[in-house]
Structure 1
Amino acid sequence: MGPRAVNPVGAAALADLMPWGTTGIGTGRTWVYAPERETLRRRWARLAAAEDRNALLQPTRSRTESSRPAPLPGCDAPTGPLARVVGPTPRLVRVARRPFDRQWLLADHRVVDFARPELWRVRGDRQVYLTERQAGDPWPLLCSALLPDAAHHGGRGGRVAPLYRDPAGREPNLVPGLVELLADRLAVPVAAEDLFGWIVAVTVDPARVPLTADPGLWTAGVELGRRLIGLYTFGARFGRPGDGKPRLPGGRRPFVREPIPARPTGATYDQESRSLLLGTGRIGPVPREVWDLGILEPWIAARTEPPGEGLERIRERTWSSELTSELIDLLHVLGLLADLTAAQAELRARAGAGPTLDPTALLPPAPATRRPPTVLDSTEEGPGGQAVLI
């Protein structure tokens, strides 16, 4: 994405504050995703056994059974075309398929059209991917410790901006000089993760991120942003050692009240019992505000809707205990996020109305900061041994 016009004093576009970004993964086909790993193993075995692999692949202009793309960074795979060699099941990588929906992906570049290798190259234990969605969206920004699909930012108009430009987390993807400017003007220590937390907490419109001049408000915003990031990433980032998975306090924790049937047909909400219903199964308590977030219905539908065509017909036949555990984890996260809604709305109002800093001297960022990083920690090779260049 190219440079944008600088906003009024005290605010800047997110695309300027975090200069490097791109769209999320675009697979060109949906059968390469599944909520459960065994589904993908079975689909791959079916593809390997097929005489007409092109039909099952669902070829596009970018991928056919004759395509020979380089392996994805960090994912060893055969480089020969599928028409000649399929190989064992590729590495299965968990990704952010949709908002709050973590699914597994067949990490074989021969079946993924637009994998965004530059995002794969910067994966690391400290990396957080910021998803920029449309202004006015209930979730204008989301975070994930996992590689995001384009559906995570809603398709066109959104983008993914990694916090770091390297897998070790040494080079922040932030406009140079801004962390130092904030530390000087606020007279408090400022780290890259603090600025990232502030951005996540206060942004309503990605085209205009306010930068406060109030040290107290800054501290409150950073703290709230860190809590939000911890929840968005299911506890994988910005938490304290030993925190584990996010959990609601006792008395509010959801439990399975009635067993979930082997084949639930969808989800509904029961106001009287404050429960999530999956067929004859029931999980509660679930507050109404959690159901109204609009996350649970598509999450459950992706795991219960009828099979599609081709390789998508291969699905797990029954609802598993693993899916139940993942759903409980999701309910904890959404419940804790609902608790923070009022605090975040108040913070956003104060950030928009209070004194602000002027970042215009640092903007627009240098063109080089908008390009993907070019220094890699490992050598990558494409078909025939040639180097992969960015």
Structure 2
Amino acid sequence: DKNRDTPANVRFRALPKGRREDKFVALADLSLDAQGWQDCPTDWRAPFFPAASGDWATFPPLISFFDYNGSGVMPGRTWVIAPDRQSLEQRWVRLTGERDAVKQEDLFHPHEGGDKTVSKKSQTELTGHEHRSAAVKDDPLPVIAPARYGFRSFDRQWIIPDARLINRPNPTLWAGYSPKQVYLVGLQRHSPTSGPAITFSGLVPDHDYYKGSFAGRAHPLWRDVAAKVPNIPTQLLGALADVYGHPVSADDVMAYLAAVMAHPAFTARFLGDLIQPGLRVPLTADPELFAEAAALGRVVIWLHTYGERFADPAAGRPKAPPRMAEGARPFIPEGGSIPGAPEPLPDMMEYDPAKRRLRVGNGFVDNVSPEMWAYEVSGKQVVWHWFSYRRLDRTRPQIGDKRPPSPLDKMQPDHWLAEYTSDLIDLLNVLGRVIAMEPTQADLLERILKAELIKADHLKTAVIV
């Protein structure tokens, strides 16, 4: 019978993998009395997936390691982001120079029912950037200086940091940004399927930063621009200090998460448990294992942020784009330069595993391993997707908003830029070093799982779960 005070029992069953015909056979034989049903959580708003079970259920949830997590920036219009500053400056000039009101609104690309238009004034300020309250149509000034932006995992682009143009800028993320800020990003309503379970950005991240779809949540290391107030709960830091017998910093915790979760072995190890969205953390009770993971995780974050965070020259981490060892690093040989003007932008990127050569148009990069080329974040091949935003044809499949994108999107360089080449070399070096660390991270994860763990129940007294 109905009971408005008690949630219904929900059970889950997966059909066998394989052909559609096999699934229909399984459906035909299905009954509520059959074996194999799994109970789902009984919370009112729990997802319709099996409840966490086994060791996985005893791990603390990732969200309990942070006081705050939020959606990344939701631009709502693609023309405010580009892989180069020049495109954004030219788009702004085109937009504000249009004198036909209807055409100008079309260039702006407002959402139906949205509150951002060329006529809308703004009260929202993005900390650290110029604030203009006047409507865009009345703004005679040059574009607000474009800012580096965490567009996708391992892909840094540029954005116009103007609240009049961004549908949902999430001012909290901008307010906490500083040269010391680190954002951990991972899926929450969906689960990773391959690659690292989490990635990191030193820049304010996009709503779809993790993999380009299915959104995600950004977890800052710091709550303030001075990087004095940690976003790691003080109760958690105190509880860990009691377990390990010495103080534990917010940096230590963030680095531990990087070492344990930012690699493919974590995702593969817990793929069956990840049928229910929501990442969990195997938290070691061994102070030596924690220290080892924290040291390793600092390198991971340094790599993910292109050397801009957790730099330590004495430890071999200069504040500069990371490089692989001599002889192992990718390079452009004589005759391999990717042509710029007057040649048009290339539209092709191909990989030759026999030559270990990555060809970009009429240029190429040598010493690129198959693992670099194939590296992915939950199904998204990083190198190819990086190129897809810099090629001649940058059109994307229409998802959600079915209207054609703004004509401003078509404003892009007519040739390959030197900075694209530099960014590509940086990307390949970062991926090469990330890949080289994965066996060490996988080994560490297994040793952590075999040792004593701090269970979620043990942390409830610290009021963090």
TM-score (norm 2): 0.74
Letter in 2 for 1:67: K
Instruction: State the 1:176 CA deviation.
Output: 2.6
Out of 329, 332, 336, the position equivalent to 1:256 is 332
Between the aligned partners of 2:95 and 2:461, the Cα distance in structure 1 is 48
Instruction: Report the more deviating stretch, 217-226 or 290-299.
Output: 217-226
Deviations 1:283-330 (A, max 9, x none): 010111111102110101110042555001110111111111111111
Structure 1 residue 274 and structure 2 residue 356: aligned?
A: yes
Deviations 1:117-140 (A, max 9, x none): 010000112110110123434121
Runs of 4+ in 1 over 4 A off after TM superposition: 2-10
Tell me the equivalent position of 1:27.
75
**Contact preservation (8 Å) 1:24, 1:153:** no
Tell me the equivalent position of 2:287.
215
Tell me the equivalent position of 1:68.
121
Instruction: State the 1:6 CA deviation.
Output: 10
**Contact preservation (8 Å) 1:131, 1:152:** yes
Structure 1 residue 337 and structure 2 residue 337: aligned?
A: no
Out of 243, 247, 256, the position equivalent to 1:198 is 256
Deviations 1:207-257 (A, max 9, x none): 310110122221221111111000000001112047132110110121112
Letter in 1 for 2:250: A
Q: How does 1:265-344 map to 2 (within 5 A)?
A: 265-293=347-375, 294-306=381-393, 310-344=407-441
Structure 1 residue 49 and structure 2 residue 106: aligned?
A: no
Between the aligned partners of 1:3 and 1:181, the Cα distance in structure 2 is 30
Structure 1 residue 151 and structure 2 residue 208: aligned?
A: yes
Instruction: State the 1:360 CA deviation.
Output: 3.2
> Alignment partner of 1:97: what SS?
strand
Instruction: Report the more deviating stretch, 128-137 or 225-234.
Output: 128-137
Letter in 2 for 1:327: L
TM-score (norm 1): 0.88
Distance 1:165 1:365, change over 3 A: farther
Instruction: State the 1:269 CA deviation.
Output: 0.7
Instruction: State the 1:193 CA deviation.
Output: 0.6
Between the aligned partners of 1:333 and 1:73, the Cα distance in structure 2 is 30
Structure 2: gaps spanning 5 or more residues: 1-43, 267-273, 376-380, 396-405
Deviations 1:59-112 (A, max 9, x none): 111311122222322222321112332532112111111111100001111111
Instruction: Report the more deviating stretch, 265-274 or 240-249.
Output: 240-249
Letter in 2 for 1:58: H
Q: Which has more radius of gyration?
A: 2
Tell me the equivalent position of 1:247.
323
**Contact preservation (8 Å) 1:275, 1:282:** yes
Tell me the equivalent position of 1:175.
233
Instruction: State the 1:177 CA deviation.
Output: 1.9
Tell me the equivalent position of 2:84.
36
Letter in 2 for 1:349: E
Letter in 1 for 2:324: L
Letter in 1 for 2:227: G
Could you say what the CA RMSD is over the residues aligned between the two structures, in angstroms?
2.4
**Contact preservation (8 Å) 1:21, 1:162:** yes
Between the aligned partners of 2:82 and 2:460, the Cα distance in structure 1 is 42
Instruction: State the 1:188 CA deviation.
Output: 4.1
Instruction: State the 1:45 CA deviation.
Output: 0.5
Distance 1:129 1:68, change over 3 A: same
Deviations 1:367-388 (A, max 9, x none): xx99xxxxxxxxxxxxxxxxxx
Of structures 1 and 2, the one with the larger relative CO (CA 8 A, separation 6+) is 1
Structure 1 residue 17 and structure 2 residue 85: aligned?
A: no
Deviations 1:252-297 (A, max 9, x none): 1211121213322121111111011112211010111111102110
Structure 1 residue 92 and structure 2 residue 146: aligned?
A: yes
